[in-house]
Amino acid sequence: MKLISRNLSLLAVLGFFLVSCGYHNPYVYTGPEKVIYIKDWKNRTSELGLDSDIYHSLVKWYQKSRSIKITKDKSSADLILAGEIISISLPSLSYGSNNTTKEVKIRLKVRYILKDLTSDKVLFEVAKEEYTEGYVVDDTTAQTRDNQEEAIETIVTDLSQRIYQKTLVELPKL
């Protein structure tokens, strides 16, 4: 009982410290409400559904902040986010016995822009950004496909997080 009481006291002190030191979640925008229209990304690759995956991932990130709303109606938006999937490649990295591929690294190239529709000001524009993620080629096709999908999901999440964080840096400047 003494140990539980001591642990609870320690948690209370830690909680008080976090609150009193001004800790805040850096992934949340708390400024004036902004409405973002996310345009469908152009997908110049043969990877079907990649544009949709990016859209849904971006929406998840923007929903972390109560002051940011997503709309499908451009006329009601304050900001527009548009992007393009330039390319995706799956080059071989390493080889096992008999020159069989053991690992593949996906390379995804994108470009995107965030623009304030009221002032016509570009908040940020990235002409070319590359993301890479490796995955293991397994003996079974199904497992290899699962590994590939997981690698693509990691890239999409990293891309969305980066765009979201850049947005959070730029919004207070408006």
Indicate the domain borders of the chain.
32-173
Q: pLDDT at position 137, please?
A: 84
Dig out the tokens for 77 from the structure.
Answer: 């938006």
Stated pTM of the model: 0.80
Q: Please state, as a whole number, how many other Cβ atoms lie within 10 Å of the Cβ of residue 114.
A: 22
Give every CB contact of residue 131 below 8 A, 6+ residues apart in sequence. Answer: 107, 108, 110, 155, 158, 159
Please give the chain's pLDDT, 174 residues, in tens: 555 655 556 566 555 555 555 545 566 788 899 999 999 999 999 999 999 999 999 999 999 998 999 999 999 999 999 999 999 997 765 556 676 778 889 999 999 999 999 999 999 999 999 999 999 888 788 888 889 999 999 999 999 999 999 999 999 988
Fold for the domain defined by 32-173: Rossmann fold (3.40.50)
